[in-house]
Amino acid sequence: MEELRSTEVLDKEIRSDSVKKAEKILAKADESAKQLIDGVQDRIEKAKSDAEKISAEGIAVYEKNINASLPLEKQRYLVSYIYGSIIEAMDKYFESIGDKKRLLVIQSLCERAKKAIQEKKISAVVVGFNLSDAESMLKKVFPQNLSSCEAGDVHLVSRESLEGFNLKEGIILKALDGSVTCRLTLDEKIKEILDEKRELLAKTLFGGRLPE
């Protein structure tokens, strides 16, 4: 009987001791968990702070770069605007004068090409103009040189075409011996005018002042 009571007491002591140990373990686990959670939260806050700092610095750098590039972008836009306006004006002008006067423009280019052609026999490809009118003009300019004259497709003058200029007209002269090729197009004439008179044209278009 005494032995049974001793066993019961021992059992109670074991249980009590186990409970105390369990409580200590739980308390330690709670503390570890709390530290872990606090550590995670700290890392989250730090990461958030770092991200905000990086974002702020990134935005500042971006704004600095944008502000630095604005004058250049403005200048590029201005040049593009002036160029586009000049081409548009040229397109309207050449459209308004009609094909007869446009052919006279090409004739002036043919006159200049005589120096390159000299005594060579040439063939001519006419693009955009009335073939008979163009051939008559060529016979006047090259009475001893012209060997043949035929109509050609617009793609033949597309290589030098200017964006925004819609009149794809011209004459291509080729020496029969292959030594000379002259591409006499309205696009080439426009390029020549732009090179020589760009500033004057811009001032004329914008009333003596460039757009802001």
Q: Is 33 domain-assigned?
A: no
Per residue in 25-42, pLDDT (tens digit) is: 445 555 554 554 455 455
Q: Is 138 domain-assigned?
A: yes
The Cβ of residue 150 has, within 10 Å, a number of other Cβ atoms equal to 10
Q: Is 155 domain-assigned?
A: yes
- The answer to whether 103 and 134 are in contact (CB under 8 A) is yes
pLDDT of residue 90: 82
pLDDT of residue 120: 92
In whole angstroms, give the CA distance from residue 87 to residue 167.
11
Q: Which domain holds residue 201?
A: 101-205
Q: Is 89 domain-assigned?
A: no
Per residue in 114-154, pLDDT (tens digit) is: 999 889 999 999 999 999 999 999 999 999 999 999 999 88
pLDDT of residue 26: 47
Q: Is 176 domain-assigned?
A: yes
Q: Is 117 domain-assigned?
A: yes
Q: Is 63 domain-assigned?
A: no
Q: Which residues contact 165 (CB under 8 A, 6 or more apart)?
A: 87, 90, 91, 186, 187, 190
- Domains of the chain: total: 1
pLDDT of residue 137: 93
Assign residue 128 the CATH number of its domain: 3.30.2320.30
Q: In what order do the strands lie in the sheet with 181-185?
A: 146-151, 122-127, 170-175, 181-185
- The answer to whether 156 and 127 are in contact (CB under 8 A) is yes
Q: Is 143 domain-assigned?
A: yes
Query: How far is C-alpha 156 from the geometric centre of its chain's CA atoms?
Result: 26
